[in-house]
Amino acid sequence: MKVTRILLLSLLMTASVAQQGGNTGGSRGSRPGPPTTLPDVTMGAPDERPGTFDAAMENQRAKMRNEDRQKRLVEDTQKLLTLANQLKEEVDKSSKDTMSITVIKKAEEIEKLAKSVKERMKG
């Protein structure tokens, strides 16, 4: 754990010195700091560069997340429909003076699932 902290601290100090142009204000005069950009060492066509590959992978991941989200939405809305039908059957069985605990629990479950679906649709 201490080694990690020391490494992190030294990286932060190096970055700070690089931002200041390598001059720490000491009596030793200024030394050139580390280069601020890395040299382009990619080989091959521009389409094979890591940045393009990373962007393509991120697009693929986003597409998969959207497909998964859509699949879960369909499953949850189907479950909502089933629960709503079950709730209707329970309410139809009960009389006007009595309401069973299962009806209340079923309504709460529907409400919870509906909120979940609504939040997932937003974002």
So what's the pLDDT on residue 83?
A: 93
The pLDDT tens digits of the residues spanning 6-63 come to 655 555 555 555 555 544 444 455 566 565 665 555 555 555 555 678 888 999 999 9
Q: Which residue is listed with tokens 């382009």? A: 40
Token digits of residue 83: 């629960």
The pLDDT tens digits of the residues spanning 50-65 come to 567 888 899 999 999 9
Q: Which residue is listed with tokens 């390598």? A: 22
Q: What is the mean pLDDT of residues 65-71?
A: 92
What confidence tier does 112 reach under pLDDT thresholds 50, 70, 90? very high
**pTM of the complete model:** 0.50
Q: Please state the φ and ψ torsions of residue 101, each to the nearest 5 degrees.
A: -65, -35
Token digits of residue 54: 């990373």
| Cα separations in angstroms, 113 against 66, 108, 117, 123 | 19, 9, 6, 16
DSSP letter assigned to residue 35:
-
Q: Which residue is listed with tokens 């490494």? A: 7
So what's the pLDDT on residue 5?
A: 54
| 63 vs 3, more confident | 63
